Amino acid sequence: MSFSKCVCLICQSTIAIPKKGNVERHFRTVHGKYDTDFPPKSELRKRKVKELKSQLSGQQSFFTQHTSKAKAATEASFRVSHVIVNNKKSFQDGEMVKEAFVEAADSLFRDFKNKAEILSSIKALQLSRSTVTRRCEAMAEDLTQQMWKDIGDCECFSLQLDESMDVSDTAQMCIFIRMVFSDITAKEELLTVLPMKEQTRGEDIFQSFKNFIEKTQLPVYKLVSITTDGAPAMVGRVNGFIAKCRQDDAFPDFLNYHCIIHQQALCAKMLNMKEIMDVATKIACSIRARSLQRRLFRAHLEKADCDHSELLLHTDMRWLSRGKFLQRFRELCPEIKEFFRVAGHAEYKQLNDGQWLLDLAFLTDLTNMLNDLNLELQGKDKTVINMISSVNAFKRKMQHLSSKLQRHDLANFQNLASELETQGKACVQLDSARYTEQIDNCLSEFDKRFQDFSLLEPVATFMCYPFREDAEVDSLASKIATLFHLNSSGVEDEILTLQADIELKSRAHGQFWNLLTEVKYPNMRKCATSLTALFGSNYLCESAFSHMKIIKSKYRSTMTDEHLEVCLRLAVSSYCPDYASLADSIQCK
């Protein structure tokens, strides 16, 4: 028997139905003289049977080995294709990688006895442009299937979505999903990328999303919240995307939030120091805009033996660039003044204005603090609880620094302290009230913009530590019931039962909410899963757009929307393709 088939050792023909009678009939009719030539139980017959078995085994191993090598080459091509796309390279780079493999192998395996076999295996790699494209499509489909399985298994999920133009002026709508499972663990994944070919009004975005839901049968009843930016197309009261979703009966009652990172950046923009930014930007552009000026300034910095060799630029579209731009500009102010003097250009009077330079130093310090908060809010797997905590910590820090500034304590304002020391107290006086007012205005803007989270904050505090004895149970239960559409009296009863549970209190740790049974604490478990599902920002979308700018660059502007989604999914997914199964599926075709 071989691979469930009955093979004759003598003629190597296959018996259709492997039954004893069929085998005996074949032997008598085809090999009738065999018993005469090789008598039964004789040594001659034993040697002949052994020889025939060896021949058959050799033939089978040859084909098995060939199949094994082909499968290994196919699996390797999947792995290499994944590396290529994960690094946002072109499909056709596979041919270059293969060529590099062959060249490197010639040196690396020069003294190996099986060098020829190794080179043969490398040359068998299938890495042509069309092959890499097919491999990536298959892997993206595999990742998509894994995601849809998790969507089916999860208890609930939230969405974040944002849109951005690609290099061919197509608006690409990125949608990420955060799934929470029965053990209160979460997983974030790219749900889809929807190309918007025409307008990007709220109704257009909604219709595109609704079509996607109907096509994929997304279990929208599990939806807890949607996080967007503050664009009118998203949050417009009548025709915005969120409003359209709420008007549709297919959608459940859900929460929606304006991205915390966007809110924080808008708060930073409200600082009443536009004149400082305008002048600094104008000076930087006057140097950087002309190639000759830029080269001369770099040469000037080199002669002055400066730590920096270039002046940075700033745009409003890049929030984090402002702090770095101001810091570099302030550090190079003396060299900028000297450069203008030597070059004979008209100097900007602000560079000699002591009060303007103090304002610049203060704005640099405050902007650096806001940038630090912005960076803290970014990253994957950031829960809304983490982000609210970061914002509250920043607000308390600012209140503390404001009181210190009133006492002329500049320990946390290094640039301001340095500028005062440079100018000398006799030349300029620190107007602390001027700067504390700026901090207070910034804090007021934070309070105004983060009102959406005021209802969520006490609930988040309770979820972090549910055994606080000073918690107002009535108020807390009402807020939880309002947020997650639960029965207020049932929530109140479960909170009281939970806080009195001695066993649970002794086991309070990171996986605490997973200990609660669905039978005893249905409302508390729903609250825990829903809160865990919330997105606090659109960071994943913004990060995906950064990937998109590299993937669909001006050199690959003709890339189709389908291939853009394939490349994005492979670049940002937390799933790993099942290479072995994918290789098997190719072998079977």
Dihedral through CA 416, CA 422, CA 425, CA 428, nearest 10?
-70
CB 473 within 8 A of CB 492: yes
Helices (H), 407-499: 414-423, 432-449, 456-464, 473-484, 488-499
The CA-CA-CA angle for residues 560, 562, 567, to 5°, reads 95
Neighbours of 224 (CB within 10 A): 25
Confidence category of residue 251, pLDDT binned at 50, 70, 90: very high
As a whole number of angstroms, the distance between CA 303 and CA 38 comes to 100
Q: Which of 239-243, 277-281, 487-491 is predicted least confidently?
A: 277-281
| 3-class SS of residue 406 | helix
217 sits in the region (left: phi over 0; alpha: psi -120 to 50; else beta) called left
Q: Is the pLDDT of residue 117 over 50?
A: yes
Report whether 244 contacts 203 (CB < 8 A). Answer: yes
Report d(CA 274, CA 288) in Å as an integer.
Answer: 21
What local confidence, expressed as pLDDT, does residue 194 receive?
93
Q: Residue 1: pLDDT band by 50, 70, 90 thresholds?
A: very low
The mean per-residue pLDDT over the stretch 74-102 comes to: 91
The fraction of the chain above a pLDDT of 70, given in percent, is 88
What does the pLDDT look like over 407-445, one tens digit per residue? 888 888 888 888 888 887 656 678 888 888 888 888 888
The mean predicted confidence, pLDDT, of the chain is 82
pLDDT band, residue 270 (cuts 50/70/90)? low
- Least confident range of 22-26, 157-161, 176-180, 211-215: 22-26
Does the pLDDT value for residue 153 go beyond 90? yes
pLDDT for position 319: 53
**H-state helical runs in 536-588:** 539-551, 561-572, 579-588
1 burial (CB, 10 Å; 0-12 / 13-18 / 19+) is exposed
Structure tokens belonging to residue 234: 């998203």
Residue 105: what pLDDT?
Answer: 86
Report which listed range, 105-114, 176-185, 236-245, 328-337, is most confident.
176-185
The CA distances from residue 353 to 10, 193, 287, 349, in Å, are 105, 51, 20, 7
Unique residue bearing structure tokens 């075709």: 589
pLDDT tens-digit map of 509-549: 667 778 888 888 888 888 889 888 988 788 888 889 999 99
Cα–Cα distance between 525 and 537 in angstroms, integer?
Answer: 24
At 67 the pLDDT is 56
Instruction: Single out the residue of 207, 209, 257, 203 nearest to residue 233, CA to CA.
Output: 203
Of 62-66, 212-216, 506-510, the poorest mean pLDDT is in 62-66
Q: Cα(135)–Cα(133) distance, rounded to whole angstroms? A: 5
pLDDT above 70: residue 2: no
- Judged against a pLDDT cut of 90, whether residue 563 lies above it is answered with yes
Q: Both tokens of residue 61?
A: 């191993």
pLDDT at residue 274 above 50?
A: yes
Q: Is residue 348 pLDDT above 50, yes or no?
A: yes
Tell me how long the chain is. 589
In this prediction, residue 222 carries a pLDDT of 94
Sign of the CA dihedral with 49 first, then 51, 57, and 62 last: negative
Residues 303-340: tens digit of each pLDDT? 667 766 666 665 654 555 777 888 888 888 888 888 87
101: three-class secondary structure by DSSP: helix
Lowest mean pLDDT of 129-143, 283-297, 357-371, 429-443, name the range: 283-297
Confirm whether pTM is higher than 0.85: no
Q: What is each CA distance from 56 to 8, 19, 48, 59, 69, in whole angstroms?
A: 10, 21, 12, 5, 20
Q: By the 8 A CB rule, do 118 and 112 touch?
A: yes
Reply yes or no on whether the pLDDT at 265 is more than 70: no
Half-sphere exposure of 188 (CA within 13 A, CB side): 22
> How far is the C-alpha of 164 from the C-alpha of 229, rounded, in Å?
12
Confidence (pLDDT) at 318: 55
Average pLDDT of the residues in 221-239: 86
pLDDT in tens, 183-215: 888 999 999 999 988 888 889 999 999 999 999
| Residue 188 near residue 176 (C-beta atoms within 8 A) | yes
CA angle 559, 564, 570 (to 5 degrees): 135
Instruction: Write phi, then psi, for 396 (nearest 5 degrees).
Output: -65, -40
